[in-house]
Amino acid sequence: MDIKQAAKILKALSHPNRLEIYLSIVKGDQGGFQTAECECCVSEIMASLKIGAPTVSHHLKELANAGLITTERQGKFLIAKPVLGTWEEVRKILPQ
C-alpha cells in the first residue's frame, strides 16, 4: 500500500456523510450480502442522512471505487458489503 493509494482511501472516508455510510455498511454486515431489510440500501441511507438518492449513489460509487465496499443488486435494491482488508492496509501505514 503506497501513500497515494492510502490517501485515496482516506479521502473516500473524509466526508461525514460518506464516513457514516461506510460505518453503517460495516455495522450491518453479517458476513455476506444482506437482505432487503438491511439498513444499507440506498433508500434507507437516503432517509437516515436526509440527502437525495443521486447523492447517495455517488457516495457509494466513491466508496466502491476506493475498494472499501462492494455492491450487488438484489431485485430492486442495491446491497453493499464492506471489504475490510482495504481498511486494514491503510491502518498498517498509520501510527500503531
Partner DNA sequence: AATACACTTCGACATATGTCGAATTGTAAA
Partner DNA sequence: TTTACAATTCGACATATGTCGAAGTGTATT
Rounded distance between C-alpha atoms, residue 2 and residue 89, angstroms:
10
User: Which of residues 26 and 77 has its CB atom nearest to a second copy in the complex?
Assistant: 26
Q: Does 92 help bind a second copy (rule: CB under 8 A)?
A: no
The answer to whether 80 touches 70, Cβ cutoff 8 Å, is: yes
User: Which of residues 6 and 46 has its CB atom nearest to a second copy in the complex?
Assistant: 6
Residues 30/68/36/77 CA torsion (nearest 10 deg) = -160
Between CA 37 and CA 30, with CA 83 as vertex, the angle to 5 degrees is 35
Nine cell digits for residue 71: 455492491
Q: Per-residue string for binding with a second copy, 32-61, x by CB under 8 A?
A: ------------------------------
The least CB distance from residue 4 to a second copy, in Å, is: 5
Q: Does 1 help bind a second copy (rule: CB under 8 A)?
A: no
Rounded distance between C-alpha atoms, residue 60 and residue 47, angstroms:
15
Q: Does 95 help bind a second copy (rule: CB under 8 A)?
A: yes
Which residues lie near a second copy (CB under 8 A)? 3-4, 6-7, 10-11, 13-16, 18-20, 23, 26, 82, 84, 87-88, 91, 93-96
